[in-house]
Amino acid sequence: MPNESTAAEVQLFSDGACSGNPGPGGWGCILRHRATGTEKELSGGAANSTNNQMEMMAVISGLESLTRPTAVEVITDSKYVADGCTSWMPNWKKNGWKRKDGTRWVPVKNVELWQRLDGLLAKHRVRFTVVKGHSGHPENERCDELAVAAARQFA
């Protein structure tokens, strides 16, 4: 059994979708309180976005909906979001939210969203689990349905 420091109080399942890239996009997430099994679904979108932006918004929106600091396991099919939060962000911050592109420094793409995530990661104890998308994972499939439906509102 996981100890209290690693056990998630809340599981956050997330997915993003985009019709065209860029194009109309949507995101969906499910928050599940582990002790009670209570679930809450959230979704939204934008008329002009990218798949990566929608993947990020799913996690941001889920974390922003929490009312107090919480231990969260984020279950996502986005290696971009997981790697960005766990591996890339410390160097981006150290380098003024810039990254190396060959020999020059360029601004990090989606910097406003990364900065929102950074603030949320400071508030909550978050760990990431990456799952294969479109592989029958029930919550990931449901998040995809929510994201696609949200994107259709802007198409």
**Average pLDDT, whole number, for the chain?**
93
Q: Could you give the residue ranges of the DSSP H alpha helices within the chain?
A: 51-64, 79-83, 89-94, 111-123, 138-152
Please state the rounded mean pLDDT for residues 42-60. Answer: 97
Q: What confidence tier does 1 reach under pLDDT thresholds 50, 70, 90?
A: very low
Q: What is the pLDDT of residue 57?
A: 98
Residues 147, 26 contacting (CB under 8 angstroms): yes
Residue 2, pLDDT > 50, answer no
Please state the rounded mean pLDDT for residues 98-106. Answer: 94
Q: What confidence tier does 8 reach under pLDDT thresholds 50, 70, 90?
A: confident
Residue 14, pLDDT > 90, answer yes
**DSSP string for residues in 9-47:** SEEEEEEEEESSSSEEEEEEEEEEETTT--EEEEEEEEE
What is the C-alpha R_g of the chain? 16
Distance from C-alpha of 10 to C-alpha of 105, rounded to nearest angstrom: 37
Lowest mean pLDDT among 20-24, 27-31, 110-114, 126-130: 20-24
Task: Give domain 10-152's CATH superfamily.
Answer: Ribonuclease H-like superfamily/Ribonuclease H (3.30.420.10)
Q: What are the sequence ranges of the domains in the chain?
A: 10-152
Q: What is the pLDDT of residue 7?
A: 61
Active site residues: 15-16, 55, 77, 134, 144
Model-wide pTM > 0.85: yes
Q: What confidence tier does 154 reach under pLDDT thresholds 50, 70, 90?
A: confident
Residue 4, pLDDT > 60, answer no
